[in-house]
């Protein structure tokens, strides 16, 4: 989840213009929130302005986003919008622990050569052509993103793209874009692929199996649509790749040097981790953490407990297994910068909930959009998609989550909106070059290797087409085959203060 800073120098005038835009947007939205009745009191306006300011900082001053989040927390506590205890409770430590465990496991898998073996397997594939390579690239990118994470996926897959394109003397841009699109779509298939997935899953009370059962089919269909679209869009590049591959085959030359990589230990660890996480709800029932006979308040507190601690258990065992590398995994494989930003962002968003702003917003939405949850699907889906195209998708998810929680507490059928939020946030990340962390990492790798960059419009043309098509497909699938609400065992407990009267709908 690393990121790269902007390599192009920015003039003082441009910096001042961005700062003026930040102040103007923050002030205007804070004033509008007061006028439309979402923020009646001073503390509510402060919480809105602080959250908007952090969002604008991630948009205009990416490298200062953590600093802005730190200052935002200080402002919320100093103005008594938040108590210290309330701030700590809003940092979502359970999600942070989950991500720390998964990042440590991925570091061990890198050490064991699993990802190198994957690249070698593709390079050594016989009878390869441009179309088969693109199909494999899309499938591997999506699967890797769904079982490890989007950043690890894009780092590994771009190493493959660079190797093949350099060997064939081809422009890598089309294949970089294809891999990123597939990665963002694949990251929505499971709770492991994207911080957005685990955040939504834990806040909504979904088990891994329930998430997999309903998110994966939509992601698979959207991946097929995106793959076909990219194949048509980049057909000339794929034909040229096929010609170059045929020429190398006729000269009895491969796509790169082949090595024998031991991979079984890494593969067993990866499959074991996914299997244990997939069975977390069964373990919670077996251990008496949830289920029949457990007090509802205790069951609510233990919700998804084994899901969160499974990566920590496996990471701990792996550090016992490789004690000399344990410190390296924690210090260098865990993205502390990103995790700290997530914690501060969650806390700033928690200020909106603490002050009742999200409850007021939910009431307004419920009154404004008639027709119930299905009518709200396109609103949540496309707003989160467009927003995620320009700001890190976790920002929009953190903002929307309390609103959906309030709506769901009033009517369980609003749980459909969790899926609209998930697909909008993940698919919208494909629209622009700054739409997701995977995009930014890909841009950084491309610029570092080729000392060139992918133009904003070059990305936007195909990104907008893929983002729009996949969002429409997700919307259609949710309408034609509604996703049933999670069982009461999995559903989060309602917060009495956050329950609103539902508006009449069909």
CB atoms within 10 A of CB 62: 16
- Residue closest to 177 by CA, chosen among 161, 166, 164, 189: 161
User: How crowded is the C-beta side of 71, counted as CA atoms within 13 Å?
Assistant: 10
Spatial separation of the C-alpha atoms in residues 368 and 284, rounded to whole Å: 40
Torsion from C-alpha of 146, 147, 153, 156, nearest 10 degrees? -150
Q: What is the pLDDT of residue 239?
A: 94
Q: What is the pLDDT of residue 492?
A: 47
Spatial separation of the C-alpha atoms in residues 219 and 188, rounded to whole Å: 6
Q: 137 by DSSP, 3-state: which?
A: helix
Q: 205 by DSSP, 3-state: which?
A: coil
- Residue closest to 51 by CA, chosen among 428, 498, 385, 402: 402
- Residue closest to 270 by CA, chosen among 108, 411, 492: 108
Q: Which residues contact 106 (CB under 8 A, 6 or more apart)?
A: 148, 149, 152, 333
Phi and psi based region of residue 432 (left: phi greater than 0; alpha: psi -120 to 50; beta: remaining): beta
- Residue closest to 161 by CA, chosen among 216, 118, 209: 118
Burial class (CB in 10 A: 0-12, 13-18, 19+), 152: buried
Spatial separation of the C-alpha atoms in residues 413 and 126, rounded to whole Å: 50
Q: What is the pLDDT of residue 438?
A: 84
Contact 211, 201 (CB under 8 A): yes
Contact 102, 142 (CB under 8 A): no
Residue with tokens 């590398």: 325
Q: What is the pLDDT of residue 218?
A: 94
0.75 surpassed by pTM: yes
Consecutive sets of 10 residues in the chain, 506 residues long: mean pLDDT of each?
50 88 92 88 92 86 87 92 87 87 89 85 82 93 87 85 88 94 92 83 85 92 96 94 88 74 87 88 85 80 84 94 93 87 87 84 77 81 85 76 82 84 91 81 84 84 94 90 58 45 44
User: 482 is written with which tokens?
Assistant: 């509604």
Burial class (CB in 10 A: 0-12, 13-18, 19+), 497: exposed
Torsion from C-alpha of 437, 441, 446, 447, nearest 10 degrees? 100
CB atoms within 10 A of CB 331: 9
User: How crowded is the C-beta side of 468, counted as CA atoms within 13 Å?
Assistant: 7
Contact 199, 401 (CB under 8 A): yes
For helices 264-278 and 208-233, give the axis angle rounded to 10 degrees.
120
- Residue closest to 84 by CA, chosen among 95, 74, 94: 74
Spatial separation of the C-alpha atoms in residues 251 and 131, rounded to whole Å: 21
Spatial separation of the C-alpha atoms in residues 465 and 431, rounded to whole Å: 8
User: How crowded is the C-beta side of 412, counted as CA atoms within 13 Å?
Assistant: 13
Q: What is the pLDDT of residue 216?
A: 93
The alpha carbon of residue 320 and the mean position of all alpha carbons in its chain are separated, in whole angstroms, by: 30
User: 45 is written with which tokens?
Assistant: 């306006």
Please, what's the b/e burial string for 358-373 (b: 16 or more CB within 10 A of its CB; e: otherwise)? bbbbbbebbeebeebb
Q: What is the pLDDT of residue 504?
A: 44
């Amino acid at each position: 989840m690393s990121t790269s800073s902007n390599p192009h120098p920015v003039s003082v005038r441009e910096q001042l213009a961005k700062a003026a835009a930040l102040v103007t947007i923050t002030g205007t939205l804070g004033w509008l929130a007061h006028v439309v009745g979402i923020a009646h009191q001073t503390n509510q306006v402060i919480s809105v302005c602080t959250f908007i300011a952090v969002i604008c900082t991630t948009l205009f001053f990416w490298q200062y986003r953590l600093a802005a989040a730190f200052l935002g927390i200080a402002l919320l506590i100093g103005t008594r919008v938040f108590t210290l205890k309330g701030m700590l409770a809003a940092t979502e430590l359970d999600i942070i622990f989950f991500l720390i465990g998964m990042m440590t496991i991925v570091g061990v898998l890198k050490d064991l050569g699993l990802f190198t073996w994957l690249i070698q397997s593709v390079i050594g594939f016989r009878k390869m052509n441009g179309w088969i390579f693109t199909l494999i690239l899309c499938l591997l990118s999506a699967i890797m993103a769904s079982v490890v994470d989007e950043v690890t996926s894009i780092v590994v897959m771009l190493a493959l793209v660079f190797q093949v394109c350099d060997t064939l003397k081809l422009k890598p841009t089309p294949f970089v874009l294809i891999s990123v699109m597939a990665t963002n779509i694949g990251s929505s298939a499971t709770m492991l692929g994207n911080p957005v997935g685990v955040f939504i899953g834990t806040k909504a009370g979904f088990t891994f199996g329930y998430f997999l059962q309903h998110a994966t089919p939509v992601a698979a269909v959207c991946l097929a649509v995106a793959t076909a679209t990219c194949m048509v869009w980049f057909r000339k590049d794929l034909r040229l790749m096929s010609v170059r591959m045929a020429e190398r085959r006729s000269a009895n030359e491969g796509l790169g040097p082949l090595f024998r990589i031991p991979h079984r230990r890494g593969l067993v660890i990866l499959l074991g981790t996914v299997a244990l996480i997939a069975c977390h709800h069964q373990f919670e029932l077996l251990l008496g953490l949830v289920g029949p006979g457990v007090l509802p308040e205790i069951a609510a507190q233990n919700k998804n407990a084994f899901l969160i601690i499974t990566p920590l258990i496996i990471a701990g065992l792996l550090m016992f297994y490789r004690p000399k590398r344990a410190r390296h995994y924690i210090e260098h494989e865990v993205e502390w910068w990103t995790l700290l930003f997530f914690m501060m962002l969650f806390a700033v968003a928690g200020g909106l909930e603490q002050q009742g702003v999200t409850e007021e917003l939910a009431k307004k939405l419920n009154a404004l959009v008639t027709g119930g949850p299905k009518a709200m699907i396109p609103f949540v889906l496309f707003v989160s998609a467009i927003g995620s195209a320009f700001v890190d998708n976790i920002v929009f998810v953190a903002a929307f989550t309390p609103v959906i929680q309030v709506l769901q507490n009033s009517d369980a059928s609003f749980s459909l909106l969790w899926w609209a939020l998930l697909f909008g946030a993940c698919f919208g990340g494909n629209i622009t070059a700054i739409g997701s962390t995977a995009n930014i990492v890909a841009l950084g790798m491309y610029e570092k290797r080729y000392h060139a960059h992918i133009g904003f419009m070059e990305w936007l043309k195909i990104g907008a087409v893929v983002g729009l098509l996949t969002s429409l497909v997700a919307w259609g699938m949710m309408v034609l085959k509604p996703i049933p609400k999670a069982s009461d065992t999995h559903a989060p407990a309602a917060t009495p203060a956050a329950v609103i009267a539902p508006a009449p709908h069909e």
